[in-house]
Structure 1
């Protein structure tokens, strides 16, 4: 690349004016051609260069904070990163000159960046590395809601751009052709590849001066009626752009076939957007021991840059062929099922926290049938998706985990354990998830002493801002000893509840084992004269001793039930999770609930096998209502949290206060 090409890019140009008062963000990998604009744009114009750490670049919230901290005025974002910022942190664009490009755009995110981000200037840039970063520009002021593209505009200063047909003649407006670029921004050629240089850098057909050349980009485009150029994609070659890098899948196939463990390989591109697009490889192993995908990835990384390594590898016995003996690409396995074929056996999520993380992975990666021990990166994840995933986990769980953790613990099990460690220091038995709102507060015993009860955050959010929500943690999770009876657990939690809210009304709820303690708290509060409009029991079967309690319902209405004293014995949580489980099982098995005449709402998941419609709770009183919610024991409070919350909210709204 000659020096004049860099000067033409950043000095005395028309698309941007840089000066001593500017701060340019350095976000790109130094090997990426956008770094040329960032570094030399600052140094050759007396501006400041703000070097943003890689970890911050990959986290929308951290990047926004870093841009503010450094006072950045100008920045370039790849299209994929721009989409993420427009969606998750649009304020990072506000007031700044924002350049974006590198692959086909999605108009909806450009419109979102404009309306929600309100940048000072928003410039859509186009240009291959061979023309030194940028060749055309288009200032985006408005995005037509019906458009399918955003123009790449007109040539930047000191640059020639033509759209030519197969005969090298200019095409009229509306007719597709190939983009050719000329001017002082052209590279000298490809190092050590005179054949490729001669193929791509051709003589200038419109200038008689010797040595003048045009670069054939291989990109299709057409002129609009207003003279702006509209990008249409690649020509008939196999080049694709993934995360700003131009890739030929054939090169990856050659690298795979060069491995002794591989007899044949086909590489395809899956995903429709800049964020979801990734390489997937189908491999037929050579005779002998079958290689694992992990072994193939390890070998490929010796010869290919990371962005060319397929995100997914599936092993096949043979390539599917058409009746004519040609490769039948349409018969290749669906990439949604690649993970299952790649790793075979999976450990499913074990608790609601792992379920929540799995749902986020499924949405981002677009695949199913993976386990909690499968690697995010081996499932097709990359650094940009990793940043989105960690942000989504933070929003769902309310706990911030550094992105670097994912590179040492890239599994659902590892992330869930890290989240638990981050919250273990807190000894609070009740957490105010949402303290605001005018409705009677819901005190919810989440019962999740393995996952931490983080599903309460999206549940509270789905219930609405006007519904106060307090998560009551099970004993052992909060660092305190585990009482031996449900009654003793209820007594301790009532003391904590009254410290936080001395008087009612109280709405109680509980999931799984938490339902027993919730009902017992409600019964005790009513006996103490407090208002309990409703108790919600989520997917919990009535204890075995409930039948004996039902025989006392009539006498209980006239004779107060004596308080059951708390059992003095308690197990220390430090004795281990297995002992804690045993103590809970024993407490539930010995729990003989007293009759309860208040309103009880039972929500049973649709996969519950118990034949009793009310799961046995009507034995305790007449005021039991039963509703079915979608999902199973875990997914009803994670994947289907919106439907579950809607049912709870409706029940709260119709609750009659005593």
Structure 2
């Protein structure tokens, strides 16, 4: 392992220069240079390849090559003493209940159950919540009822599955309590697009019709921006570190109210979440991302309607044609998933797609 300060500065600087395509000095701030949360995954991966035991929290806490060199030259135990005092992943995960300890909790949420005709089902995004969609489904559902699927563990301590196929199978059972037979109409925002894809694939294998499979700012299965070698603990630690940076909250426990209010404002949390569940919710996030990262997709023989951001339009990794028999793509100038869901142009296009199938 490289221990010399100058060696560590050089390694870190070289990695940043490669990833950010800028010249790096030892006192340059990673985020001022254009770094962002997901890129930290690449920094950590590359640093470990070169013999540095770097964590995501190290990079959030020590933002320059010089500061990182000083920190990495300190014994790991000493570094941990100055880190925020969040409960570790094992402590949080142990508070959860497995299948032998609790009855399964419902994941199906009525978003707009009134209406007639074939219902629309929408799926939770990466944070696991879907109830925020209740304020959005009227823009595209027409007269149809609308339901959401939220992740296991949102309102209780049931541990979520770590397999996307198992997650999809469970959601499908609940969908069929409302609609036993096709044709089905699915809308999957962000991470929910992959869940919708796997459910649609299972239904097609069973001879059922999926009339609409719409994914919203979702990268196709098999592509990733995270390191699949990371386990639950690393994903959880990354999540906590990214929350501290995004919301400017150095201590998640001391500033918990401000943090949770900020997360509600961008629909990462539902309202009325118990503050005691904050870290549990991040462990649930880690479980969901782990399932996504380890999902091995099989081909889908139907059509996928893709609503993508313009910034992803030319990325080969964003091509749904790699996994689906047919695609219909709509490109929008939006700043992210939530702005896209709120975009009237998107709503009109999705409503038109849904309306093309008899109610």
Question: Does the CA-based 8 Å contact 1:629-1:636 persist in structure 2?
Answer: no
- In the TM superposition, residue 470 of structure 1 has moved relative to its aligned partner by 0.9
How far residue 589 of structure 1 moved from its aligned partner, in angstroms, is 1.4
2:331: which partner in 1?
628
**C-alpha deviations, 1:401-457, integer Å up to 9, x for none?**
xxxxxxxxxxxxxxxxxxxxxxxxxx541122222334422111031536x434312
Structure 1 residue 649, shift from structure 2 partner? 1.1
Distance 1:436 1:630, change over 3 A: farther
Q: Secondary structure at the match of 2:302?
A: coil
Instruction: Kindly indicate whether the alpha-carbon contact (under 8 Å) linking 2:217 and 2:308 is maintained by their aligned counterparts in 1.
Output: yes
**Aligned residue pair count:** 204
Query: Could you tell me how far apart the structure 2 residues matched to 1:622 and 1:638 are?
Result: 25
SS in 1 for 2:210: coil
C-alpha distance in structure 2 between counterparts of 1:457 and 1:648, whole Å: 16
Distance in 1 of aligned mates of 2:141 and 2:212: 18
- Residue of structure 1 in register with 2:354 after alignment: 652
- SS of residue paired to 1:533: strand
Per the TM alignment, residue 631 of structure 1 is displaced from its structure 2 partner at its CA by 1.7
Secondary structure of the structure 2 residue equivalent to 1:622:
strand
1:24-39 paired onto structure 2 within 5 Å:
none
Shift of 1:511: 0.9
Residue 648 (structure 1) shift: 0.8
Unaligned runs of 5+ in 1: 1-426, 547-570
SS in 1 for 2:202: helix
Which one scores higher on RCO, CA 8 angstroms, separation ≥ 6?
A: 2
CA distance in 1, matches of 2:173, 2:285: 24
- Counterpart of 1:502 (choices 173, 176, 180) is 180
Instruction: Tell me: CA distance 1:623–1:638, structure 2 relative to 1, closer, same or farther (3 Å).
Output: closer
CA distance in 2 between counterparts of 1:575 and 1:459 reads 27
1:602 corresponds to which residue? 306
Are 2:164 and 2:295, in contact at CA under 8 Å, matched by a contact in 1? Answer: yes
TM-score, normalised via structure 2 length:
0.51
Contact 1:441/1:505, CA 8 A, preserved across alignment: no
**CA contact under 8 A between 1:442 and 1:470: conserved in structure 2?**
yes
Q: Is the 8 A contact 1:459 1:637 kept in 2?
A: no
Q: SS state of the match for residue 652, structure 1?
A: helix
Which residue pairs with 1:530 in the alignment? 208
Q: Matches of 1:518 and 1:609 in 2, distance apart?
A: 20
Of Structure 1 and Structure 2, the greater strand share is in 1
Determine the structure 1 residue equivalent to 2:290.
586
Please give the per-residue CA displacement for 1:355-400, whole angstroms capped at 9, x wherever unaligned.
xxxxxxxxxxxxxxxxxxxxxxxxxxxxxxxxxxxxxxxxxxxxxx
Structure 1 residues 610, 437: CA separation in 2 closer, same or farther (over 3 Å shift)? same
Q: 1:656 to 1:533 in 2, by over 3 A?
A: farther
Deviation at 1:544, TM superposition (A): 2.7
- Look up the match of 1:430: 108
Return 5+ residue gaps in structure 2 as ranges: 1-104, 225-235, 237-276
Aligned twin of 1:490: 168
Aligned counterpart in structure 2 of residue 617 of structure 1, from 320, 325, 328: 320
8 Å CA contact 1:441, 1:467 repeated in 2: yes
Which residue pairs with 1:576 in the alignment? 280
Of structures 1 and 2, the larger Rg is shown by 1
DSSP 3-state at the match of 1:636 = helix
Instruction: Work out the CA distance in 1 between the residues paired with 2:196 and 2:323.
Output: 14
| Cα distance in 2, alignment partners of residues 656 and 628 from structure 1 | 26
Q: How does 1:39-118 map to 2 (within 5 A)?
A: none
Alpha-carbon contact 1:510-1:516 (below 8 Å) kept = yes
Distance (whole Å) between structure 1 residues aligned to residue 316 and residue 330 of structure 2 = 9
Deviation of 1:622 after TM superposition, in Å, equals 2.5
How far residue 613 of structure 1 moved from its aligned partner, in angstroms, is 7.3
Cα distance in 2 between the residues matched to 1:507 and 1:539: 18
Number of the residue aligned with 1:519: 197
Residues 533 and 656 (structure 1 numbering): CA distance in 2 closer, same or farther, change over 3 Å? farther
Q: Distance in 2 between matches of 1:578 and 1:448?
A: 10
Deviations 1:130-149 (A, max 9, x none): xxxxxxxxxxxxxxxxxxxx
Structure 1 residues 645 and 597: alpha-carbon distance in aligned structure 2, compared to 1, 3 A threshold: same
After superposition, the Cα gap between the structure-2 partners of 1:617 and 1:475, relative to the gap in structure 1 and judged at 3 Å, is farther
Contact 2:123 2:187 in 1 (8 A): yes
Structure 1 consecutive aligned stretches of length 4 or more whose deviation exceeds 6 Å = none
Q: C-alpha distance in 1, partners of 2:140/2:180? A: 23
1:545 and 1:587 map into 2 onto residues whose CA distance is: 13
Give the direction of change, closer, same or farther, for the CA distance of 1:598–1:609 in structure 2 (3 Å limit): closer
- What SS class does the counterpart of residue 542 from structure 1 fall into? coil
Do the aligned partners of 1:533 and 1:656 also contact (CA within 8 Å) in 2? no
Q: 1:537: Cα distance to partner?
A: 0.5
Asked if the contact 1:542–1:617 (Cα under 8 Å) also holds between the matched residues in 2, the reply is yes
Instruction: Please state how far the C-alpha of 1:512 moved relative to its aligned partner.
Output: 1.1
| 1:610 shift after superposition | 5.7
1:134-187 per-position Cα deviation (integer Å, ceiling 9, x unaligned): xxxxxxxxxxxxxxxxxxxxxxxxxxxxxxxxxxxxxxxxxxxxxxxxxxxxxx
RMSD: 3.0
Alpha-carbon deviation of 1:464?
4.6
Q: Which digits, 9 at most, give the CA deviation of each residue in 1:623-645, with x for residues without a partner? A: 111101342223434542x3222
Structure 1 length as normaliser, TM-score? Answer: 0.29
Indicate the SS of the match to 1:540: coil
* Contact map agreement 1:545 1:593 (CA 8 A) in 2: no
Corresponding position of 1:446 = 124
Q: CA 1:446–1:645 in 2, change beyond 3 Å: closer, same or farther?
A: farther
Taking the aligned partners of 2:308 and 2:330, their CA distance within structure 1 comes to 6
Contact residue 126 and residue 285 of structure 2 kept, 8 A: no
